[in-house]
């Protein structure tokens, strides 16, 4: 069953122009879950994806830090970078089982 709210990569790209305007569906970042792991995507000066780190007692949304995974100067190049198990960020963010948890 598909839980991902994005139907195609263009929908994702259109929401991350590096400006924050929620009324216009423009965001600077999001948190998502993929295969029981939690991640943070950030746009702005650079585009990056980090794994959310939890201490033994913490659960989402209470994190104890971030482990940087990939970074790029453009969203287009970030989408092509390998992230998890030889999958690109585009593959992960569009996977049926990827759940968008929060946008900011």
Q: Over the stretch 45-88, which tens digit does the pLDDT of each residue have?
A: 789 999 999 877 677 777 778 899 999 999 999 999 999 889 99
Q: How confident is the model at residue 100 (pLDDT cuts 50, 70, 90)?
A: very high
Proportion of the chain in helix, strand, coil states, percent, rounded to 5: 20, 40, 40
Residue 41, beta-bridge partner list: 30, 49
pTM: 0.88
Report residue 93 as tokens. 């963010």
Residue 55 has φ and ψ, to the nearest 5°, of: -80, 170
- 32 and 98 Cβ atoms separated by less than 8 Å: yes
pLDDT of res. 34: 96
């Amino acid at each position: 069953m598909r839980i991902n709210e994005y139907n195609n990569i263009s929908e994702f790209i259109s929401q991350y122009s590096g400006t924050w305007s929620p009324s216009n569906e423009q965001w600077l970042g999001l948190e998502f879950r993929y295969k029981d792991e939690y991640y943070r995507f950030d746009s702005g000066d650079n585009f990056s994806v980090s794994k959310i780190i939890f201490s033994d007692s913490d659960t989402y949304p209470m994190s104890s830090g971030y482990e940087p995974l990939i970074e790029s100067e453009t969203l287009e190049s970030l989408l092509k970078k390998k992230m998890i198990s030889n999958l690109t960020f585009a593959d992960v963010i569009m996977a049926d089982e990827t759940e968008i948890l929060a946008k900011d």
